[in-house]
Amino acid sequence: MDRLIRGAQELGIPLNKGHLSLFQAYYEELVEWNRRFNLTAITDYQGVQVRHFLDSLSCLLALPQADLQAGVRVIDVGTGAGFPGVPLKILCPGMHLTLLEATRKKVAFLEHLTRRLELRGVQVIHARAEELGRRPIHREQYDWALARAVAEMPTLAEYLLPLVRVGGAILAQKGEGGPAEVHAAEEAIRILGGRVQRLVLVNLHGLAETRYLVVVDKVAATPEKYPRRPGIPVKRPLG
């Protein structure tokens, strides 16, 4: 785990032996399940440390561990094999984490993984964001909604903002096109009750690509008609 340790140090994120043991077990389960199911294209040891684990932990540059204390509700939308939610849960065990995923085989992996890592306070849900955002027990109930590599910002805003309470926020992990995506999504964000707070530039150890963390505050309730039915936000983005 040298790549992960060094990269985390550069980001100012301390890792202890307990963290590293969980990340090692996570890697082993990911590789084993990937032999049967296509969970991720990145399975080499160094690649997983940087492109999955470290990339997930970089969210702490905009979402400090101090903000993820006991009782804080976080939802990871389109989590796939658990990124960024599970690495964040490893470092911040007190938060309540919901992992939302629409692909059944990935849901099965996540259920197994949370048992294997003995993570408490984790709920795995098999559904689409457009569906969950209309359910009263989830709509505007979360302090933070996270997403990585799920959709362009205008669409992503419609997935995430309905899930967050007024006073909460969303965090989207984006590549070099992040600023342009945010500019294109400004009207959609406004309609859905959000306001762009900031973009955080991220440099990861061993990677040349530029990354951004996009933070959007929830400043007003999302109109009842959003999110629209499944498939519509990506076909007809707001704005």
Query: What string of pLDDT tens digits covers the 239 residues of the chain?
Result: 999 999 999 999 999 999 999 999 999 999 999 999 889 999 999 999 999 999 999 999 998 877 788 889 999 999 999 999 999 999 999 999 999 999 999 999 999 999 999 999 999 999 999 999 999 999 999 999 999 989 999 999 999 999 999 999 999 999 999 999 999 999 999 999 999 999 999 999 888 889 999 999 999 999 999 999 999 999 999 98
Looking at residue 239, what is its pLDDT?
Answer: 84
Residue 75 identity (one-letter amino acid): I
Looking at residue 67, what is its pLDDT?
Answer: 77
Looking at residue 38, what is its pLDDT?
Answer: 87
Looking at residue 70, what is its pLDDT?
Answer: 83
In this prediction the pTM is: 0.95
The tokens of 223 are what? 């109109």
Beta bridge partners of residue 7, listed in sequence order: none
Looking at residue 207, what is its pLDDT?
Answer: 86
Looking at residue 68, what is its pLDDT?
Answer: 83
Domain that residue 96 falls in: 2-235
Question: Considering its fold, how many domains does the chain have in total?
Answer: 1
Q: Of 173, 167, 172, which Cα lies nearest the Cα of 143? A: 167
CATH number (domain holding residue 143): 3.40.50.150
SS (H, E, C) the chain: CHHHHHHHHHHCCCCCHHHHHHHHHHHHHHHHHHCCCCCCCCCCHHHHHHHHHHHHHHHHHCCCHHHCCCCCEEEEECCCCCCCHHHHHHHCCCCEEEEEECCHHHHHHHHHHHHHCCCCCEEEEECCHHHHCCCCCCCCCEEEEEEECCCCHHHHHHHHHHHEEEEEEEEEEECCCHHHHHHHHHHHHHHCCEEEEEEEEECCCCCCCCEEEEEEEECCCCCCCCCCCCCHHHHCCCC
